[in-house]
């Protein structure tokens, strides 16, 4: 997620590459096709109509084109709104998840048993790592040490998790079973157990909400209609403009292509906020921050000698980008 100063208008001139979050270069094939189509239409129009009537040759009635445009406007606005709502919900669920993880970490670090505290903290870090893989549809990378640190799971746990579809929920089940055993043994009070279970339930709800956003796609008929109408409107626009714009048609049609295809591209990115795009949510940074907080809680209560520096070893194209932390409330995304 790219952080920027909305009051500085010059930033919009500097940030034009895909790595900076801009979609201008992502839509260049469609814009180029529109420009080439417009040039061909202008040439054909002039040669078929003659120089005296160059602007009344091969044209499309504007009223018919307006009907397509009105339908397209409705589809694009609706898709953009749905995508923005999904993006906001994704931020909310990740914010609740990070808060619940930190609450669990503080509860764990207060235990007298260092071994037990470290084991439960390991489960927390494993939960975050498996959640990242689940939200990015990378569950097949579970055994890759680049994506999940091998020290976070045992050989027996790995065998069990490989046969589970939603692995983060399995981790939460192990944590809840551990806390229940501690309560039965009299190591913690029922009140502490209740607090712990409440935080685990929040983690489960946050994961389910985030996973729902990942799995719920835009219905195929809706996406199909939007794609058809968008292409139909933009690629036939030169036939309408050539009657009044003449040789300026390619420039005007190209600008319309940038606007319409650009808005559609932004909506597609916002609808899938867990990937590696520059505008996606900073899951890696969130996981790193949570891991460091867990390690700090262990150190603060004397369970480990040093705070340590637990960080992921995932190199992505946008890993060094700034994180925009707009919402710092309890439900906001706090890294």
Whether residue 201 contacts residue 179, with contact meaning beta carbons closer than 8 Å, is answered with no
Q: Which residues contact 269 (CB under 8 A, 6 or more apart)?
A: 23, 83, 277, 279, 280
- The per-residue pLDDT string of the chain (335 residues; one tens digit each, 9 = 90 and over) reads 666 666 666 666 666 665 566 777 788 899 999 999 999 988 888 877 655 544 555 667 788 788 888 888 888 998 999 999 999 999 999 999 989 988 888 888 776 566 777 888 889 999 999 999 999 999 999 989 999 999 999 999 999 999 898 999 999 999 999 888 888 888 788 888 888 889 999 999 999 999 999 888 888 888 888 999 999 999 999 988 888 888 899 999 999 999 999 999 989 888 889 988 888 888 988 888 888 888 887 777 665 555 444 333 333 333 333 233 223 334 444 33
All structural domains of the chain with their residue ranges: 21-300
Give 22-67 as a DSSP string.
--TTTTHHHHHHHHHHHHHHHHHHHHHH-STTTTSSS---HHHHHH
The closest alpha carbon to 214, from 138, 165, 272, belongs to: 272
pLDDT of residue 328: 31
CB 293 within 8 A of CB 333: no
> For residue 320, what pLDDT is reported?
33
End-to-end CA distance of the chain: 12
Question: Global pTM?
Answer: 0.78
* Whole-number Å distance between alpha carbons of 103 and 95: 12
Q: Would you state the pLDDT for residue 200?
A: 92
Check residue 134 and give its pLDDT.
93
Neighbours of 296 (CB within 10 A): 16
What is the predicted pLDDT for the residue at 45?
Answer: 84
Cβ pair 260, 230 in contact under 8 A? yes
């Amino acid at each position: 997620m790219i952080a920027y100063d909305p009051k500085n208008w010059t930033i919009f001139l500097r940030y034009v590459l895909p790595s900076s979050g801009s979609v201008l270069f992502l839509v260049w094939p469609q814009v180029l096709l529109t420009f080439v189509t417009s040039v061909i239409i202008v040439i054909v129009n002039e040669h078929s109509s003659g120089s005296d009537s160059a602007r009344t040759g091969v044209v499309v009635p504007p009223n018919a084109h307006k009907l397509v445009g009105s339908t397209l406007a409705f589809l694009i606005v609706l898709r953009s709104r749905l995508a923005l709502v999904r993006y906001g919900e994704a931020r909310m669920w990740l914010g609740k998840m990070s808060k619940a993880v930190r609450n669990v970490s503080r509860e764990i670090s207060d235990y007298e048993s260092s071994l037990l505290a470290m084991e439960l903290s390991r489960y927390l870090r494993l939960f975050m790592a498996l959640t990242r893989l689940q939200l990015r549809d990378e569950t097949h990378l579970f055994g890759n040490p680049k994506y999940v640190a091998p020290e976070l799971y045992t050989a027996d746990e790995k065998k069990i998790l490989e046969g589970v579809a939603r692995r983060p929920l399995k981790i939460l089940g192990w944590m809840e079973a551990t806390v229940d055993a501690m309560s039965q043994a009299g190591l913690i009070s029922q009140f502490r157990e209740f607090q712990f279970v409440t935080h685990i339930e929040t983690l489960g709800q946050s994961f389910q909400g985030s996973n729902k956003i990942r799995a719920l796609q835009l219905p195929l008929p809706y996406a199909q209609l939007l794609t058809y109408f968008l292409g139909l409107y933009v690629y036939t626009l030169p036939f309408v403009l050539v009657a009044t714009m003449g040789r300026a048609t390619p420039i005007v049609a190209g600008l319309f292509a940038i606007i319409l295809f650009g808005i559609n591209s932004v909506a597609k990115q916002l609808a899938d906020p867990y990937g590696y795009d520059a505008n996606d949510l900073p899951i890696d940074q969130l996981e790193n921050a949570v891991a460091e907080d867990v390690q700090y809680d262990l150190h603060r209560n004397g369970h480990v000698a040093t705070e340590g520096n637990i960080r992921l070893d995932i190199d992505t194209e946008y890993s060094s980008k700034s994180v925009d932390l707009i919402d710092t409330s309890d439900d906001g995304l706090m890294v």
